Amino acid sequence: MARALAAMPMSVRAACLALAACLPAGVATAQGASASSAVELARQADRLKPGEWVWAPQIAPRGPMLVFVDLSRQTATIYRNGVRIGVSTVSSGKAGHATPTGVFTILQKDAKHRSSTYHNAPMPYQQRLTWDGIALHAGGLPGYPESHGCVHLPYAFARELFAATDHGTTVIVAGDAQHPVASAAGQVLSPTLSASADPADFWAPERSPDGPVTIVMSRSDQSLLVLRNGVEIGRSRAALPNDNDSTHVLTLAVDAAGAPVWVYAAVSGHVDEAGKGVDEAVRNRVDIPPEFYKKAIGVLSPGATLLVTQAPLSSGATGTPLTVLRDDEPSSSND
């Protein structure tokens, strides 16, 4: 490398050194790959090494985006209109600085962000998830969790993702970086419509009139909530089978006939589910109050997200509550 730099004209060499100086220590300028089909993308995604990524946005050129960060596998998977278009290795928070799990939206985008906490360190292509310092951005990728809470991405992948997302894009963070485990097989979603309503249920779509929609269903406290653009617009009781602790992520897509269909995303322990639709037997295991169900389906469109989790949504339940964050007080990213 030194010999190659020495052979360059002074002006070119200076430009290269200046670019290197803009990257934080350890930032991966690592290998990226493109794919021409979903099959090819899947093949390349299965053999990614630390710092590598694959990106194929042409597979689904339009539609709402979903970013799924799997802490157990240290990967980020990108979906557009329910179709997987990219996979990257990541590095999340180390012990003592764990990246929070939950449902987030992109609150702020800053391609040239610098940390006010860590000595003005550059954090290229930052996409903020919380106002207290958690974000996606280009950073070091040693092959294990080593950040102070943010999700580090390869530099070039961070640039591509930054260009593809918008404010309000849904980001789901799940898994356990410190104790990765493969979940047991489980069941998911949707209504036989016999559950009774609860006095705590509410529906207030005016809180957030537009933006991407995410539904979170909790087995732990038998409830669901509806978020639009990161703001809770509805909550209801929901009778869910509670015979396993699996996490499932689904996106609402459109089938060949133009009908809406929920399809599974690939999450730890359920990689074989990716792209499969939800069958009738699974839908029939979930009960939602009929009136609430009618209201909820009225705000859904292709690209909506469904997260099924064991984590509780209420603070009074046992276990670690799921983080559903949208803060109002801006501060600086601290990673």
DSSP code per residue over 122-153: EEEEEEES-TTS-EEEE-B--SS--BSSSEEE
**Do 174 and 58 form a contact (C-beta atoms < 8 A)?**
no
Q: Domain map of the chain by residue range?
A: 27-174, 202-318
**Adjacent-strand bridge partners of 83:** 80
Residue 17 is predicted with a pLDDT of: 37
- Which region among 13-22, 47-56, 176-185, 252-261 has the lowest average model confidence (pLDDT)? 13-22
Active site residue 150: yes
Give residue 4's pLDDT band: very low, low, confident or very high (50, 70, 90).
very low
Residue 216 is predicted with a pLDDT of: 87
Residue 1 is predicted with a pLDDT of: 41
The CATH class of 202-318 is mainly beta
Indicate which residue of 137, 148, 152, 248 is catalytic. 137
Q: What's the pLDDT tens digit per position in 72-124? A: 889 999 988 777 899 999 999 999 999 988 778 898 999 988 876 666 678 89
Q: What's the pLDDT tens digit per position in 7-29? A: 445 444 443 434 333 444 434 33
Most distant CA atoms of the chain, gap in Å: 75
Residue 117 is predicted with a pLDDT of: 66
Active site residue 16: no
Residue 165 is predicted with a pLDDT of: 94
For 228-296, give the DSSP string.
ETTEEEEEEE-B---S----EEEEEEE-TTS-EEEEE---TT-GGGTTPBPPHHHHTTBB--HHHHHHH
3-state secondary structure of 306: strand
Q: In angstroms, rounded to a whole number, what is the distance separating the alpha carbons of residues 293 and 126?
A: 36
27-174: what fold? L,D-transpeptidase catalytic domain-like (2.40.440)
Instruction: Specify the residue for token string 């509780």.
Output: 312
Give residue 234's pLDDT band: very low, low, confident or very high (50, 70, 90).
very high
Q: How many C-beta atoms lie closer than 10 Å to residue 136's C-beta?
A: 28
Judge if 27-174 and 202-318 fold alike in CATH terms.
yes
What Å distances lie between residue 244 and 305, 308, 310, CA to CA?
21, 11, 8
Token representation of residue 196: 């009774």
- Which region among 198-202, 278-282, 322-326 has the lowest average model confidence (pLDDT)? 322-326
The answer on pLDDT for 257 being more than 70 is: yes
Residue 228 is predicted with a pLDDT of: 83
pTM: 0.66
Measuring CA to CA, which residue among 283, 236, 241 is closest to residue 262? 283
What Å distances lie between residue 240 and 195, 201, 203, 308, CA to CA?
10, 16, 20, 10
Q: What's the pLDDT tens digit per position in 136-186? A: 999 999 999 999 899 999 999 999 999 999 988 888 887 777 765 433 222
Token representation of residue 70: 């799997």
Indicate which residue of 113, 148, 150, 270 is catalytic. 150
Q: In angstroms, rounded to a whole number, what is the distance separating the alpha carbons of residues 219 and 282?
A: 14
- φ and ψ at residue 27, rounded to 5 degrees: -60, 135
For 72-139, give the DSSP string.
TTTEEEEEETTEEEEEEE-B-B-TTSPPPPEEEE--EEEEEEE-TTTTT-EEEEEEES-TTS-EEEE-
Q: What's the pLDDT tens digit per position in 277-321? A: 676 667 777 888 999 999 999 999 888 888 888 877 765 444 555
